[in-house]
Amino acid sequence: MDDVNAEVIDEFRANGGSVGGALAGVSLLLLTHRGARSGVSRTTPLGYYEDGERLILFASNRGAARAPDWYHNIVADPRVTVELGEETFEAEASELVGPDREATWERAVAVRPFLAEHQEKAGRQIPLIAVRLV
């Protein structure tokens, strides 16, 4: 997966945020976060959903039973960097809970129906992460 992510990151940066292949047309951002145990800075390409002034990330891990590593990293340290197109922003990430999470989930699934499939496959509640630029 690291090789695939590295290729997507390189293409994203070389083309102002656009990528081709299976990800053509997908709203992508690059999220740079710090490893919870290692402290090493890592960059992950992620799909997102715009919800007002927030960017919503889905810790679906393609429907796996375990949340993705980036999720655990931002729970440990919510300070992140986001690359959108050719711009880079400092941001803070927080997990949505309660009614806000439920309402946001409904809106997100309406726009990204694959999330319902991921939810069913995962057998766990998929965390939603709100990213706010600072």
- The CATH number that applies at residue 106 is 2.30.110.10
pLDDT of res. 84: 96
R_g of the chain, CA atoms, integer Å = 14
| pLDDT tens digits, 88-102 | 999 999 999 999 999
Report the C-alpha gap between 22 and 26 in whole angstroms: 9
Token digits of residue 85: 């197109």
Can you tell me whether residue 19 is helix, strand or coil?
A: coil
Spatial CA neighbour of 87 closest among 55, 112, 57? 55
- The DSSP-derived string for 26-55 is --EEEEEEE-TTT--EEEEEEE-EEETTEE
Report the number of distinct structural domains present in the chain. 1
| Per-residue pLDDT tens listing for the chain (134 residues) | 578 899 999 999 999 999 999 888 889 999 999 999 999 999 999 999 999 999 999 999 999 999 999 999 999 999 999 999 999 999 999 999 999 999 999 999 999 999 999 999 999 999 999 999 98
Return phi, psi of residue 91, to 5°. -150, 170
Q: Whole domain around residue 97: which residue ranges?
A: 2-133
